[in-house]
């Protein structure tokens, strides 16, 4: 079992947290395992597995119908959030890699949420700047290049 990158908690506390979190379903588990197997040098970019239920909870808590994710990688966090959306909800997933996101697209199809995810392959700032005609954004998850966060935030919350 892997911890998210830069986690500074003890292994004992981390195991406790995972034991008291909803477990990953088979599609999520497969996507996490595949990400680590296919991209060992970049696998630290996948959202930590304990974040999936938290993201889903937050999406449900605020009643989100329109979500934006900046930094999709292999689609693990997008999968969690899309599952928490209502059937007519949408998630705009921003990434620059067709290769990485192909794994997410396969998982989204397998999980039955591909119709809720609008994957946009382009630099995130370009995608965000092209969104003024988009519906109101209820929830945003920034998980991309850390140096771009302020610019992403400014585009999402003018």
Instruction: Please report whether residue 49 resides in a domain.
Output: yes
Domain count, the chain: 1
Q: Is 3 within the bounds of a domain?
A: no
> Do the bridges between strand 66-70 and strand 90-95 make them parallel or antiparallel, or are there none, so unpaired?
parallel
**Residue 4 maps to a domain:** no
**Burial readout 17-40 (b: 16 or more C-beta within 10 A, e: otherwise):** eeeeeeebeebbeebbebbeeebe
* 89 inside domain: yes
Residue % of the chain over a pLDDT of 90? 76
Residue 1 reports pLDDT greater than 50 = no
The predicted-structure confidence for 114-133, as pLDDT tens digits, reads as follows 999 999 999 999 999 998 76
Residue 141 within any structural domain of the chain: yes
Q: For all residues of the chain together, what is the average pLDDT?
A: 92
pLDDT for residue 7: 53
Q: Is 5 within the bounds of a domain?
A: no
Quote the pLDDT of residue 68.
97
What is the predicted pLDDT for the residue at 81? 98
Q: Would you say residue 61 has pLDDT above 70? A: yes
Within a domain: 116: yes
Q: What mean pLDDT do residues 51-75 have?
A: 96
Angle between helices 51-61 and 76-84 (to 10 degrees): 30
Q: Nearest-CA neighbor of 147 among 71, 66, 94, 58? A: 71
Can you tell me the distance from the alpha carbon of 38 to that of 145, in angstroms, rounded to the nearest whole number?
A: 21
- Tell me the pLDDT tens digit for each residue of 73-92: 999 999 999 999 999 999 99
Is residue 71 assigned to a domain?
A: yes
**Rounded Cα gap, residues 103 and 64, in angstroms:** 25
Q: Looking at residue 57, what is its pLDDT?
A: 96
More confident site: 41 or 17? 41
CATH number of residue 83's parent domain:
3.40.50.150
Q: What is the pLDDT of residue 39?
A: 95
pLDDT band at 113 (very low <50, low <70, confident <90, very high): very high
Structural domain boundaries, residue 69: 11-156
């Amino acid at each position: 079992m892997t911890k998210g990158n830069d986690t500074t908690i003890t292994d004992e506390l981390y195991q406790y947290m995972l034991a008291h979190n909803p477990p990953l379903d088979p599609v999520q588990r497969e996507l996490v395992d595949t990400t680590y197997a296919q991209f060992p040098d970049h696998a630290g970019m996948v959202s930590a597995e304990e974040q999936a239920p938290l993201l889903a909870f937050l999406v449900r808590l605020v009643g989100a119908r329109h979500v934006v994710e900046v930094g999709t990688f292999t689609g693990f966090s997008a999968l969690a959030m899309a599952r928490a959306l209502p059937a007519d909800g949408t998630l705009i997933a921003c990434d620059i890699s067709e290769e990485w996101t192909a794994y997410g697209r396969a998982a989204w199809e397998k999980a039955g949420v591909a119709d809720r995810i609008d994957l946009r392959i382009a630099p995130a700032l370009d995608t965000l700047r092209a969104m003024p005609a988009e519906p109101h954004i209820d929830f945003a998850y920034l998980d991309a290049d850390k140096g771009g966060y302020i610019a992403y935030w400014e585009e999402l919350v003018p």
